Amino acid sequence: MSTFVVFDLEFTSWPRALEQGWSAPGQLREIVQIGALRLREDCTVVEEYEALVRPTVNTELSPYFTELTGISQQAVDRDGRPAAEALGEFLGFCRGQTVLSYGNDMVVLGENVGWARARGEQIKNSFLDAAFVNIRPWLNTVAPTTVHANVGRLWNVLGLPKPLAGQEHSALFDCYSFAAALSHLRDQGAALPEGCR
């Protein structure tokens, strides 16, 4: 049975950064947490991936980010991995797969890969080894109630049981919310996009 990957990122943020497109001086969308699930065609979980990443430019997390995600500075200082290492490992997890995001997280992933390479760091694996797809337009069309929901709330707006303990804006929790939504829509008769079936 074939598999595919869903993933979510948490990256540095500040008040109004989203609305302003991270345009203030020094505001880079540096990845702090990666979450991913490898799913079977029936949307059951085969494997999960999670990593904390140490930002390079904005080494101190903003209070806004910490409150939003629950990720503390202490956790990142203690458990955060170098960006190039975590990115390479994640891209290896995605190798040969269709990789779905609920939004343009692949753009943020690409930015972070580019910055690491610009610093002279080697990334073990490549984007070219996976097919990244933003599935949000499809999902919002199939289930219009999701249009204004972030990925961590998909389970809620679709009236599904909470997929596991945790909270939205935690990358792995958001992946489980995403997977629950895909499973529900599949069970309702929606044909998942090519590469997921």
Q: Give the number of other Cβ atoms within 10 Å of residue 101's Cβ.
A: 24
In a domain, 95, yes or no: yes
In a domain, 14, yes or no: yes
Report the interhelical angle of 83-94 vs 105-118 (nearest 10°).
130
- Look at 193 and 99; give whichever has higher pLDDT: 99
In a domain, 182, yes or no: yes
* pLDDT of 10 over the 80 cut: yes
Where residue 32 falls (left for φ over 0; alpha for ψ -120 to 50; beta otherwise) is alpha
Per-residue pLDDT, averaged over 68-91, amounts to 96
In a domain, 197, yes or no: no
- Best-predicted range by mean pLDDT (18-22, 59-63, 186-190): 59-63
> How many Å apart are CA 37 and CA 49, to the nearest integer?
6
Of 91, 28, 85, the C-alpha closest to 53 is 85
Per-residue pLDDT, averaged over 91-115, amounts to 95
pLDDT at position 72 is 96
* pLDDT of 88 over the 70 cut: yes
> Considering the chain, what percentage of its residues have pLDDT values greater than 70?
98
In a domain, 195, yes or no: no
* Token couple for 183: 């499973």
* pLDDT of 145 over the 80 cut: yes
* pLDDT of 127 over the 90 cut: no
In the chain, the number of structural domains is 1
In a domain, 192, yes or no: no
* pLDDT of 131 over the 70 cut: yes
Q: What is the pTM of this model?
A: 0.95
On whether the CB atoms of residues 105 and 133 are closer than 8 A, the answer is no
Residue partners of 106: CB distance under 8 A and separation at least 6: 99, 127, 132, 134
Residue ranges of alpha helices (H) inside the chain are 63-69, 73-79, 83-94, 105-118, 136-142, 154-157, 171-187
* pLDDT of 1 over the 70 cut: no
In a domain, 11, yes or no: yes
The CATH number for 33's domain is: 3.30.420.10
Q: How does pLDDT run across 42-69, given as a tens digit for each residue?
A: 999 999 999 999 999 999 999 999 999 9
Give the structural domain span for 161: 3-187
Of 11, 135, 14, the C-alpha closest to 83 is 11
Per-residue pLDDT, averaged over 133-154, amounts to 95
pLDDT at position 171 is 96
In a domain, 193, yes or no: no
pLDDT at position 193 is 77
Q: pLDDT band for 149, please (50, 70, 90 cuts).
A: very high
Residue 20 — φ and ψ, nearest 5°? -95, 5
On whether the CB atoms of residues 175 and 159 are closer than 8 A, the answer is no
